Chain A
Amino acid sequence: MYQNKSSIFLILILGLIIHKYYCKEQTYVHNQAKPARFHVAEFNFDHVSDVYAITLWILLGSLAKVGFHLSHRLTEKFPESCLLIILGLIVGALLYITHLAEQKAYVLNSDTFFLFLLPPIILEAGYFMPNRPFFDNLGTILLLAIVNTLFNTLCIGLTLWGFSFTSLYGGTVFDMLPCFVFAALISAVDPVAVLATFTEIHVNDMLYIVVFGESLLNDAVSVVLYRMFDSFAKIGQENLIPTDIILGCLSFFVVALGGVLIGIIFGVVACFTTKFTEHTPVLEPLIILVYAYLAYLTSEMVSVSGILAITFCGMVMKQYVSFNISKKSDATTEYVLKMLSSIMETIIFMFMGLSTVSDHHSWNTGFVLMTLLCCLVYRVIGIAIFANLANCWRLLELTRIDMLIMSYGGLRGAIAFALALILDETKIPRKKEFVTATIAVVFFTVFVQGITIGPLVKCLNVRRKQIEEPTMSAKLTNRMMDHVMTCLEEISGSGGSNSLRDKCRNLDRNYFKRWLLRETPQEKMDIKLLQTFKKINMQSAMKVHDTSKGLVPAPSSSAIHTSASGTNLRPESTFANFSQILAANLPEQTVPDLMFFENHHGAEQYRDDAQMHHFLDTNLYRARPRATIHLRSQDESAGTDGVAHNRFEKSYHHRNHIYIPSRLDKEQIHGRKAGKTSGGTGRSTASKAGSSNITHSHTHSHSPKHHTSSVSKQQNEKLRSASPVSDQKQQQQQQQSKTRSKSPSLSSDQPIRPSSPTAEMYRPSPPISIRIDNDDDNEILDGTTAAERICPWRRSSIPDAARSTSTSPVNDPSNTTQTASNTNDPNLHPGPLTSANYSGTYHKSPEYLGEYATTTKPEEHLSRPNIRDLFNNQSRIPDEKQENDMETNSDESTTQL
């Protein structure tokens, strides 16, 4: 609390400073008095005044937000919006009392509001709109947004007007049309307020999307109604002809559909543009933002609904852009959007508080109370009617409690306020009453409803948003249900929403994806399933990562060296190789995954942080696997199930939808500093972050075999001088043949919790230095990477200590060997060879490489020279690393090697 108070003080002082600067006379009087001479330093506030004030406001808002969140007690009880309004009120009152600035300097200006403050919030909302729930509930949302808003407007307008014949308003006369104008602006649920409140209470997706979707889409209705009644009021009640009303109704469709259309067009153009930004990834976020803003401005220009335009623009862009742009740009876009919208929201609420304190008020108790009552009552009635109506066709019915929350969540906000402020006082004489009533309603909804809705949701036990991670089985069964239901719907002859969804998906895949994405997805498989699997693994990894206490950056850096090189690849080639090789090689062990690692909670002391860190790094740095499927799938599946899965091919998204915390990013960047590769720009991080666990685990589980086989086939002569390697190789092959007879599925074994001595044995083996003679030049490679590369799960999941110790160190030297030799072999595919981690290991035969050499893109060649740097860098580190490793490694494993 103390911190909070002090921050409020700070903010107040800041506010005062700002407004001191507004009094321009103070600063300029003495300028005129002096004769013109050269000034060493000049105080030129005028030059920056506007921007300075804006920047200070933003700073004030941010500091306020930061301040509020320092106190958990405060933010738990009150929504942020309330606190901001209170802050605004306090600052406003101070300014008002001290008369430091003229009123209009800090009152919410509707131009500012509609042109600058609102668009980022709506764009963010559209961009992060959960598409599927939105379209699943589209019918309900539309019904509520259009019909319910219309109903509310008419009822509120009529009631308010009706009561003007009684003495309730104390003799103040309200005409019919002004009443309707007011009703139009007050009846619309405000997206900003809803967003601010509902994101804090975490209701289930369906409820959230219904209320929020309504608040977004009713903009069209409220804008049309507002404009219509406003212009009617200007025309004058007696001059109205039916044509006006018909045109007004017609304009609804123009405004709504026009907005949607403009949004979609700009969204599509934005996606199309990002198709070509491969070489300028820095601009990608900007392109997205600019197109969205342009959509908003364009639609405002042609006076259609800008909110709808920017919402749909965001939705369209999200669908495609994120597959085009690099992972980094994607993260940046998301971050910038979040940042912008959060600061705009802050400023909006603050300004609302500020502008409340002004002379432009005329409190009419009867009118205010009547408005409030109308808003509440008609909201409840409207929801009751239309939610029940919607239930007729909804599969998932809206329960009474849902309806209650929906009506209670009908918050009014800044849009209403801004609309009230731009009323023309000459045409609508009761503007002041309207503004006051609007503020009263907004404050009531934001304060009373906003504060109580959280406890209410808890109290009524509303289904909360499920935060648990998806389980594999749930995903699988879910997908199965989808398949079965589409099938059955077709059999029963009732084309339902499922088939419609399939049709949309087809359209999407056949046309939009083809035109808008850089790489046309051609894969034929259920990718989402695979993605979930990766996601689960990734999440487990993150969980483990979070539980580990600190991170030791030094040992991991070399791992990054090797793996970072892999990020320059074009994924097509690599993943194609991957699947090809996988198919070519008989599976010997199943891919172990993080489940095992997770199961070993008892083994925490062995889970040393460096290894964990490394493990994650190797995970994160993998190239995106999507392309695998692109290239190979056609040939592979054509014979067997090509026809059968024709329709069910899904896009393979190279975005993994996994949010990687900034902490990790930092580490990545940190690691990359050490092993810097210049070839990979933003793309490399993209591929790193979008790494797939499956690829990863495959690499590891198969690596012993691939290494040996490929090394023996192709690289034998190159390894002749490296006798330790060949020795080890033989050893390893023996090991392999022994283990081959083991259970085919590692993962089906119940994970064994290792006791501490065994775990000690499973430690990665000590670093070994191998000298490799290449044809062209000699390169000294350090095998320390080997130790780093050992998958942590391996030591715990494989009960055989000897195996893990013998295989893993060997495969890595051979791996690096191969990579090194590949670098010098012009016949080999330049792309995959940059990846020390898997591409090299998966190359089975030279012909295979040759085949893929044709598919490489020029940028891969650029990355070639870096590899040597990479390895050179690497060789500098071993000393410190050796130390690290020596501690952990038992003598046993050393001798074995």
Chain B
Amino acid sequence: MGSNASIMLQQEDLQNICQQTGFTAKQVQRLYSRFKTLDKRDCGFLTREDLLCIPEVNINPLGERLIDVIMDDYGENNKINFKQFIFLLAKFRRGRVKSSTTEFNTRDSKLRFLFDMYDRNHDMKIDREELLQVLKMMVGGNIHDDQIATIADHTIGELDSDGDKSITFEEFCKTLERIDADDKMSMKFLS
């Protein structure tokens, strides 16, 4: 599948990718074909619009935010090419055994991704505004600001251990200790 008219999926690229990400060749090829399907204009990269065409993403309350994260942190110029795409997805590969864990799919990097979903100004802190934004996305329009604000304050109050009214990455990780984030942030890639 990946071989026909492949722009960048050469054999050595494939091996390279497999090695770096821990995907099997089949998985990479499958992802590549998926990438091609999404890339409707056949230009070798995905844009925001391409991703928004996926119904699931379109209606997902966090879909736009997710695309923001993808485009800003993983792609460039609102584009994401296949290599970036696969490095992004490599984060969510299941790292079951120690040996199958690469630098991408550690628990830390998964949490990092989650953290980045909140922290859009990259100051390594989730402040009240950022939390409010995400909360609003997740809660919908008809809860009053007050309620959301309370929830946000409550959340920050729970996590904030140093009293600076914002959540650092360490504080963020701390609450997730009891959640099996590694498991939840993993998905199965078909091969």
Q: Is the CB of A748 within 8 A of B128?
A: yes
Q: Is the CB of B151 within 8 A of A472?
A: yes
Question: Are A477 and B175 neighbours in the complex by a CB distance under 8 Å?
Answer: yes
A683-710 vs B, CB cutoff 8 Å, 1 = contact: the mask equals: 0000000000010011001100000000
Residue pair A745, B153 in contact (C-beta under 8 Å)? yes
What is the 8 Å Cβ interface bit string for chain A, positions 586-601, against chain B (1 contact, 0 not)? 0100111101000000
Q: Which of chain B's residues have a CB closer than 8 A to the CB of A595?
A: 154, 157
Chain A: interface residue total (CB-CB under 8 A): 71
Binds B, one of A522-530, A713-721, A782-790, A812-820: A522-530
B186 interfacial by beta-carbon distance below 8 Å: yes
- Rounded to whole Å, the gap between the CB of A694 and the closest CB of chain B is 6
Any chain A CB within 8 A of the CB of B7?
Answer: no
Residue of B135, B163, B183 near A750 (CB, 8 A) is B163
Tell me the A82-131 residues at the B interface (CB within 8 Å). Answer: none
B163 touches A487 (CB 8 A): no
Q: Given A478-B179, A484-B114, A747-B149, verify A530-B142 contact (CB < 8 Å).
A: no
Interface string of B151-183 (1 = CB under 8 A from A): 101110111000101010000100110111101
Given A480-B117, A526-B139, A646-B59, do A747 and B150 touch, yes or no (CB 8 Å)? yes
Smallest distance from the beta carbon of B86 to chain A beta carbons, Å? 9
Which one of B34, B139, B158 contacts A473 once the chains associate, using CB atoms below 8 Å?
B158
Interface set, chain B 13-66, CB cutoff 8 A to A: 30-31, 34, 37-38, 51, 54-63, 66
> B128 to chain A: closest CB distance in Å?
7
Residue among B56, B58, B145, B165 with the highest chain A CB neighbour number at 10 A = B56
- The B-contacting residues of A in range 559-592, CB under 8 angstroms, are 579, 582-583, 587, 590-592
Alpha-carbon gap, A747 to B157, bound state (A): 9
Instruction: Write out, one digit per residue, whether chain A residues 752-793 have a CB within 8 A of any chain B CB (1) or not (0).
Output: 000000000000000000000000000000000000000000
Contacts of A489 in B (CB 8 A): 187
User: B128 contacts which chain A residues (CB < 8 A)?
Assistant: 748
Q: With A and B bound together, what is the CA distance between A494 and B33 in angstroms?
A: 12
Residues in B with CB closer than 8 Å to A582 are 144, 146-147
Q: A490-B57, A491-B57, A579-B142 are in contact. Are A480 and B134 (CB under 8 A)?
A: yes
- Distance A477 CA – B140 CA, assembled complex (angstroms): 16
A346–B75 CA distance with the chains assembled, in angstroms? 63
Q: Separation in Å of the A16 CB from the closest CB of chain B?
A: 53
- Residues of B near A579 (CB, < 8 A) are 142-144
Q: CB of A17 within 8 A of chain B?
A: no
A328 within 8 A of B: no
Indicate whether A644 reaches chain B with its CB closer than 8 angstroms: yes
- Among A488, A524, A633, the residue within 8 A (CB) of B66 is A488
Contact A476 B184 (CB under 8 A): no
Interfacial chain A residues near B62, Cβ < 8 Å: 480, 483-484, 487
Residues of A within 8 A of B167 (CB): 473
Q: Which residues of A contact B179 (CB under 8 A)?
A: 474, 477-478
Instruction: Kindly list chain A residues whose C-beta atoms are within 8 Å of the C-beta of B30.
Output: 493
Asked if B87 is an interface residue, CB under 8 A from chain A, the answer is no
Q: Which residues of A contact B113 (CB under 8 A)?
A: 484
CB neighbours of A636 from chain B (8 A): 141-142
Contact in complex: A485, B92 (CB < 8 Å): yes
| Docked-complex contact B138 and A587, CB < 8 angstroms | no
Instruction: For residue A594, give the distance in angstroms from its CB to the closest CB of chain B.
Output: 9
Q: Is the C-beta of A192 less than 8 angstroms from some C-beta in chain B?
A: no
Q: Are A643 and B190 in contact (CB under 8 A)?
A: no
Given the complex, which residues of B lie within 8 Å of A640, measured CB to CB?
Answer: 141
> How many Å from the CB of B117 to the closest CB on chain A?
6
A200 at interface (Cβ–Cβ under 8 A)? no
Measured between beta carbons, the chain B residues less than 8 angstroms from A748 are: 128, 153, 165
With the chains together, A583 CA to B142 CA distance in Å? Answer: 8
Contact B149 A745 (CB under 8 A): yes
Q: How far is the CB of A722 from the nearest CB of chain B, in Å?
A: 30
Partner among A396, A474, A485, A645 whose Cβ is within 8 Å of the Cβ of B61: A645
Contact with B along A639-666 (1 / 0, CB 8 A): 0110111111000000000000000000
**B183 and A396 within 8 A (CB):** yes
Q: Is there contact, CB below 8 Å, between A524 and B184?
A: no
Is B79 an interface residue, CB under 8 A from the partner?
no
Q: Verify if A162 is at the interface (C-beta below 8 Å from B).
A: no
Is B124 an interface position by the 8 A CB rule?
no
* Chain B CB within 8 A of A520 CB: no
* Cβ–Cβ contact B89 & A492, under 8 A: yes
A490 surroundings in chain B (CB, below 8 A): 54-57
A209 CB to nearest chain B CB (Å):
15
With contacts A595-B154, A636-B141 taken as known, whether A471 is within 8 angstroms of B175 at the C-beta atoms is yes
Answer yes or no: B188 CB below 8 A from chain A CBs.
Answer: yes
Taking CB atoms, residues of chain B closer than 8 Å to A587 are 144-146, 149
Q: How far apart sit A745 and B154, CA to CA, in the bound complex (Å)? A: 12
Given contacts A499-B56, A643-B59, A648-B61, contact A487 B66 (CB under 8 A): yes
Known interface pairs A579-B142, A641-B141, A698-B147. Does A395 touch B165 (Cβ–Cβ under 8 Å)? no
Residue of A nearest to B62 (CB): A483
Chain B min CB distance to A772 (Å): 30
**CA A750 to CA B162, docked complex, whole Å:** 12
CB distance from A547 to the nearest CB of B (A): 20
In the bound complex, CA of A720 to CA of B189 (Å): 73
Q: Hey, which chain A residues are within 8 Å of B188, CB to CB? A: 393, 395, 494, 496
Q: Does B94 sit within 8 A of A, measured CB to CB?
A: yes
| Residue A795 is within 8 A (CB to CB) of chain B in the complex | no
Chain B CB within 8 A of A637 CB: yes
- B175 near A481 with CB under 8 A, answer no
A238 in contact (CB, < 8 A) = no
- CB of A629 closer than 8 Å to a CB of B: yes
A21-63 interface with B by 8 A CB criterion: none
Known: A483-B138, A494-B189, A524-B142. A477 touches B60 (CB 8 A): no
Tell yes or no: B8 within 8 A of A by CB: no
How far apart are A130's CB and chain B's nearest CB, in angstroms? Answer: 16
**B104-142 contact mask (Cβ, 8 Å, vs A): 1 or 0:** 000000000110010000000000100000110011111
CA distance A484 to B114 in the complex (A): 9
Tell me if A632 counts as interface (CB < 8 A to partner B).
yes
Do the beta carbons of B56 and A486 come within 8 Å of each other? yes
A856 interface residue per 8 A CB criterion: no
> Which residues of B have CB within 8 Å of A319?
none
A825 close to B (CB within 8 Å): no
A895 at the interface (CB under 8 A from B): no
Instruction: Tell me which residues across on chain A come within 8 A of B63, comparing CB atoms.
Output: 487, 644
B150 near A697 with CB under 8 A, answer: yes
Residue A268 lies at the interface, judged by CB distance under 8 Å to chain B: no
Taking CB atoms, residues of chain B closer than 8 Å to A359 are none
Restricting to A785-838, which residues have a CB under 8 Å from any CB of B? none
* Residue numbers in A under 8 Å from B114 (CB-CB): 477, 480-481, 484
- Residue B185, interface by CB 8 Å: yes
Evaluate whether A633 and B142 lie within 8 angstroms (CB atoms) in the complex, with A480-B117, A499-B56, A644-B59 already known.
yes
Residue numbers in A under 8 Å from B37 (CB-CB): 493
Complex CA distance for A617 and B189, rounded to whole angstroms = 51
- Bound: A534/B159 CA distance, A: 18
A649 (CB) vs chain B CBs: closest residue: B140
Q: Tell me which of B144, B146, B176, B187 contacts A498 (CB under 8 A).
A: B187
Closest to B134 in A: A480
Contact of B54 with A491 in the complex, beta carbons under 8 Å: yes
Which residues of the other chain, B, contact A646 by a CB distance below 8 angstroms?
59
A587 to B135 CA separation, bound complex (whole angstroms): 17
Contact with B along A486-515 (1 / 0, CB 8 A): 111111111010110000000000000000
**A479 CB–B CB distance under 8 Å:** yes
For residue A869, CB closer than 8 A to chain B, the reply is no
- List B contacts of A887 (CB < 8 A): none
> What are 6 sample pairs from A and B whose C-beta atoms fall under 8 A apart?
A480-B62, A484-B114, A487-B66, A488-B89, A529-B138, A595-B154
**Known pairs A481-B181, A747-B157. 6 more at Cβ < 8 A?**
A472-B155, A494-B189, A525-B143, A645-B61, A698-B144, A748-B128
Sorted nearest first, the 9 A-B pairs with minimum C-beta distance are A525-B140, A493-B34, A490-B56, A747-B153, A582-B144, A647-B59, A591-B150, A587-B146, A483-B62
